[in-house]
Amino acid sequence: MKEKFRMNIRSSFQTRRFIKLWHNLPVEVSEALLLESLRKGMDLTLENIWMKLCCLLLVTLWLWMATLSSSSERCDDWGVDTMKQIQVYDGEPARIKCPLFEAFLKYNYSTAHSAGLTLMWYWTGQDRDLEQPINFRRPDNRINKEKDTLWFRPALLNDTGNYTCMLRNTTYCSKVAFPLEVVQKDQTSCVSQSIKPTEELFYLEHTNGKIICPDIDGFYPPSVRPTVNWYRNCVLVKGFHDRYPEGPTLIIGIVRSVYEGNYTCIVSYKENGRSYNLTRSIRMKVVGSPDKAVPPQILSPNEKIIYELEAGAELVLPCEVYFSFLKDSRTEVWWTVDGKNTDDITDLKMKVSESVFTADLGDKHITRTLTISKVTPKDLKRNYTCHARNTKGEDHQAATVRMKVLAPRYTVELACGLGATVLLVVILIVVYHVYWLEMVLFYRAHFGTDEAILDGKEYDIYVSYARNAEEEEFVLLTLRGVLENEFGYKLCIFDRDSLPGGSEYARGMPAVHALPLYRVGGSGD
């Protein structure tokens, strides 16, 4: 019994190795199944073992086919490539090429087809989720495929959606989707504003410029001569000596800035008894000639601009640079502080912003502003330099920054001086009001002139008084003695000089020399 068991084991292992080579069954699995069978019945014969192993072989083969089938269902999905979005006009022919051969795979359609790969097309309608195969057996034969290209003759509005091209065989699969949008032309216009035209650059004052109608090759047979009409801003270009069409090409004699605009070519042709139109738009952009391009010019800062500010204020340094147009040229503007680029400085109070203004002919004004909040005296002593560069050269200019010198403040001194002046004026007014007569007499005594010599009058003062003894005595004795005898004035006394004979008392009264008490004066007026 033991010998028979050994023979069965040996035979079973030989059979296991044979089957393993046949269907690549793992050794561990075969051994486990065999030992399990041996444990259940020690009386297994070689024929029973062969029967068990044949069943196991069938199960393994079925699992392998299922695994292969599931692996073939897996597909490399590149998603929706929105960069490949295609816009076409309603009622016009359109073509879309599978982008797998352009951007995602390293081989072309012919190589893929020779390797046994099949290209299939699917379509997901607008506002739908279900992907369905494209029907190429329509009665009108409007949609068909040619190699890696899907053709619409023509495209209609309901063709809008996502189109998927899938390349696959039994072991490989790869697919990508891209959107197609069919639009209508705007009313009273030859184009639609939703389709942006391609832009082409033309150098100012260059001769024999050419605008070529794009993406029309392959739409009509070479034997067909289409009709091409050119429009500028939807106005027919016709009758100009410096702009004239030559089939799908518009010739511009001398490029001028006034020729800028949107140019549209409408190509009309017939194929298989049907008439088709192709509408293409190009935006003509006139730029400066590279022959006249110059290195960057820093307009600000310069030697005439001085930035003065106090400590704690905000420092704003704009660097304005002019760049002439240069195709494919980098325009760089940056600030350095003490020779170090601000991009490499980690100072929270230091900020840099930039604005770009594009002028005519493609020239640019770039302003890069350096802002430092709450500057310190140390910040005001740093070296701030603006740099600019393009392919024509480089320029740099340092900004003049310094501490603001404050004017001296004499607030206390000015207030005291003004108060003293006002007080002095008030005192002088009071003194003059009280002692004005004495001041007049003092002035006349020392600085006055003898007015009696030149005025041609006989008397200087006219004196009238009340007729009583006291007043008459004061006038004739005191006043007369002081004014006439002391100061030399000529008095006209009413009783003495105005009336014939005068006053007896006045004539008989001797001249009295009195002390000079007051000096009064007056004019004869």
198-287: CATH topology is Immunoglobulin-like (2.60.40)
Intervals of CATH 2.60.40.10 along the chain? 76-183, 198-287, 295-403
Tens digit of pLDDT for each residue in 154-182? 999 999 999 998 888 888 888 888 899 99
Closest Cα to residue 276, out of 193, 187, 188, 155? 155
- Tokens representing 181 are 């949008």
pLDDT value of residue 54:
65
Specify the CATH number for 295-403; select among 3.10.129.10, 3.40.50.720, 2.60.40.10, 3.40.630.30: 2.60.40.10
DSSP letters spanning 91-140: TS-EEEE-TIIIII-SS-HHHHHHTT-EEEEEEEETT----EE-----TT
Q: How many CB atoms lie within 10 A of CB 511?
A: 10
3-state secondary structure of 413: helix
pLDDT value of residue 14:
41
Largest CA distance in the chain: 202
Specify the CATH number for 76-183; select among 2.40.50.460, 3.40.50.300, 3.30.460.10, 2.60.40.10: 2.60.40.10
Q: Are strands 491-493 and 461-463 parallel, antiparallel or unpaired?
A: parallel
Residue numbers of the chain with a pLDDT score lower than 50: 1-38, 41-44, 64, 66-72, 503-525
pLDDT value of residue 301:
94
Tens digit of pLDDT for each residue in 270-323? 988 889 999 999 999 999 999 899 999 999 999 999 998 888 899 999 999 999
Query: Rounded to the nearest 5°, which phi and psi values hold at 354?
Result: -140, 140
pLDDT value of residue 421:
94
Question: Which residues have a Cβ under 8 Å from the Cβ of 118 and sit 6 or more positions away?
Answer: 167, 168, 169
Residue located via tokens 């600085």:
447
| Whether 233 contacts 273, CB under 8 Å | no
| Whether 238 contacts 196, CB under 8 Å | no
| pTM of the entire predicted model | 0.60
**Own/partner pairs for 39-48, CB < 8 Å, 24+ apart?**
42/1, 42/5, 44/8, 45/8, 46/7, 46/8, 46/11, 46/12
- Tokens representing 365 are 């004004």
